[in-house]
Amino acid sequence: MIIRLDHIGIAVQNVSDALKFFENALGMTLDHVASEEGGKTDVAFLPVGGSEVELVQTQDPESGLGKFLAKRGEGIHHICFEVDDIESALARLRENGAQLIDETPRVNASGMRYAFIHPKSAHGVLIELYQKP
């Protein structure tokens, strides 16, 4: 089911400001910045080994990420696992009583299928599942 840890998502108020720390202080290298969720989210991708750190900034204060930032401030928002079959993974989660935020996968601009598991089912951790196209 799970292939690897794909990324750790970090909610930030401003991607450009956050990059100053991650690039300069930590020495990480920016791969690229993309606009997701129809332009409502900006994401900076910083590869680390076989995974990535994603710095995520929302343009919509009413989104889940916007509400997270307002309530908790900047910090780790989610972890993401790559799976080989997202439909099977979601079915297995349902069979085991997990509460899903996404009953069916969403698709991002690059064709990646993804879905979120509610933190109430995952011991307080927001988990995202990715299936590459």
Which amino acid is it at 69?
L
Nearest to 10 by CA among 52, 62, 61: 52
| CA pair distance 45, 23, nearest whole angstrom | 11
For tokens 């899903």, the residue is: 100
pLDDT tens digits, residue range 115-130?
999 999 999 999 999 9
Element (H, E) at 28: none
pLDDT tens digits, residue range 61-114?
999 999 999 999 999 999 999 999 999 999 999 999 999 999 999 998 889 999
Residue 37 clears pLDDT 80, i.e. is over it: no
Rounded to two decimals, the pTM is: 0.92
Which amino acid is it at 113?
R
pLDDT value at position 109? 82
| CA pair distance 93, 95, nearest whole angstrom | 5
Mean pLDDT of the 47-59 span: 96
Assess contact for 129 and 89: CB atoms under 8 A. yes
The residues pairing with 44 across neighbouring beta strands, listed in sequence order, are 33, 55
pLDDT value at position 29? 97
Residue 39 clears pLDDT 80, i.e. is over it: no
pLDDT tens digits, residue range 11-36?
999 999 999 999 999 999 999 999 88
Assess contact for 3 and 82: CB atoms under 8 A. yes
Q: List the alpha helices (DSSP H) in 28-126.
A: 64-72, 86-95
Q: List the alpha helices (DSSP H) in the chain.
A: 15-19, 64-72, 86-95
pLDDT value at position 98? 97
